[in-house]
Structure 1
Amino acid sequence: MAEEYLVIDGLEFTYKGLFDFRDMLRYIKRIFTQHGYTILEKEKEVKIKPTGKDFYIEFLAEKEKTKFEKLTIILKLNITNMINTTVTIDSKTRKLNQADITAILDAWLITDFKGRWTAPWYFFLKTLLRHGFTKMGERFEDELINDTNTICENLKAYLNLHRFVEAKPA
């Protein structure tokens, strides 16, 4: 049976302003793949309101380190009151989106995700390793923390690219 260790719980940031929705989703997928993760969209929910669209998107990113250990990052995006705006940048007109974004990242270290250590002999070895020497998967904990913080900071930096652009409502 797989064991899950929560390494980072609820690393959160908020952003209010302009961004390109499609480009942001592409950027999220690209940044995870650059760090060696395979990413999939676990959940997507859209609500249309008079004030704008609300999105909830959950991404699941995984990186296998060994046959027994993998790193998992869950990114939850909550986008509220998204509206389309027209922006003039260097005398060129671009269509961007304006919304409030809340991003939450959770990082998990999962060991024995294929169930190979469930036999009695392996169970004894796993208990000995866990309590006698070191926590299984501890060597990848620093990498997971570093990856999660780097992805969070890069996403913040991407969103702040549009911070100083003047918007005109569409």
Structure 2
Amino acid sequence: MSERRIIVDHLKFSYEGLFNVDEMYTTIVQWFYEKGWDWYEKMNQEQVTETGKHIKLVLEPWKNLSDYHREEMRIRIIMTDVKEVDVEFEGKTMRMHQGLIKIVFDGYLKTDRHGWWSDNIFWWWVTYLFDRILMRDHFKKAESWVESDVQDVFEKIKVYLNAYNYTYRNKQLE
């Protein structure tokens, strides 16, 4: 059986203001595509209420680092009270969304991704010793890649949303 170790646990980000749901989703998907990740959309729910839309997304992308290591990520996005608003910008009216976004990132490192080495207890112990003693440097390198990739996608989304806030909200207040 494969071992899945959590490397980044509940890296959180929240944002309230103007954004575009489709552009934000495209930004996330584009990042994974550019970096060579495969991904699975585990959940995509939208509920319309009196206060606005409530949207839940759970993305579970992964990337094979080697035949033995696999990098995995879970991104949970919860958007609440999302309303469509019209914003005047440089003489044009643009349709955007306004609401609250909460995003939680988790990063995992999966070893023995095929499950070849854990059929019986002897091979499991060999794998355990192999991981902890002989291949410690390789594990640390893979661990740093997980941390780096989670931080990179986190910063990409954060910069995107803050750019929206700076560009449109500040112009709206003038």
Same fold (TM over 0.5): yes
How many Å separate the matches in 2 of 1:127 and 1:20?
A: 46
Where in structure 1 are there 5+ consecutive unaligned residues?
Answer: none
1:9 maps to a residue whose letter is: D
How many Å separate the matches in 1 of 2:116 and 2:54?
A: 42
How many Å separate the matches in 2 of 1:89 and 1:39?
A: 35
Higher helix share: 2
Helix, strand or coil at the partner of 1:116 = coil
How many Å separate the matches in 2 of 1:76 and 1:150?
A: 16
**Residues matched between the structures, number:** 168
Question: Shift of the alpha carbon at 1:134?
Answer: 4.3
Question: Shift of the alpha carbon at 1:34?
Answer: 1.9
Helix, strand or coil at the partner of 1:97 = strand
Which residue of structure 2 lines up, in the alignment, with residue 161 of structure 1?
163
8 A Cα contact 1:31 1:151, kept in partner:
yes
- TM-superposition CA deviations, 1:39-66 (whole Å, max 9, x none): 2211122221101000110001100011
Question: Shift of the alpha carbon at 1:156?
Answer: 0.4
Question: Shift of the alpha carbon at 1:124?
Answer: 4.2
8 A Cα contact 1:8 1:108, kept in partner:
yes
1:57 maps to a residue whose letter is: L
2:11 maps to a residue whose letter is: L
Which residue of structure 2 lines up, in the alignment, with residue 47 of structure 1?
47
Superposed, which structure 2 residues align to 1:64-103 within 5 Å?
Answer: 64-103=64-103
Where in structure 2 are there 5+ consecutive unaligned residues?
Answer: none
Helix, strand or coil at the partner of 2:44 = strand
Over 3 Å counting, the alpha-carbon distance change for 1:131 and 1:160 in structure 2 is closer
How many Å separate the matches in 2 of 1:131 and 1:39?
A: 29
Is 1:138 equivalent to 2:140 in the alignment?
yes
8 A Cα contact 1:33 1:39, kept in partner:
no
- State the TM-score, normalized to the length of structure 1: 0.91
TM-align CA RMSD: 1.8
- TM-superposition CA deviations, 1:26-46 (whole Å, max 9, x none): 111001222221122111222
2:116 maps to a residue whose letter is: R
How many Å separate the matches in 1 of 2:89 and 2:39?
A: 32
Which residue of structure 1 lines up, in the alignment, with residue 151 of structure 2?
149
Which residue of structure 2 lines up, in the alignment, with residue 31 of structure 1?
31
8 A Cα contact 2:79 2:102, kept in partner:
yes
Helix, strand or coil at the partner of 1:137 = helix
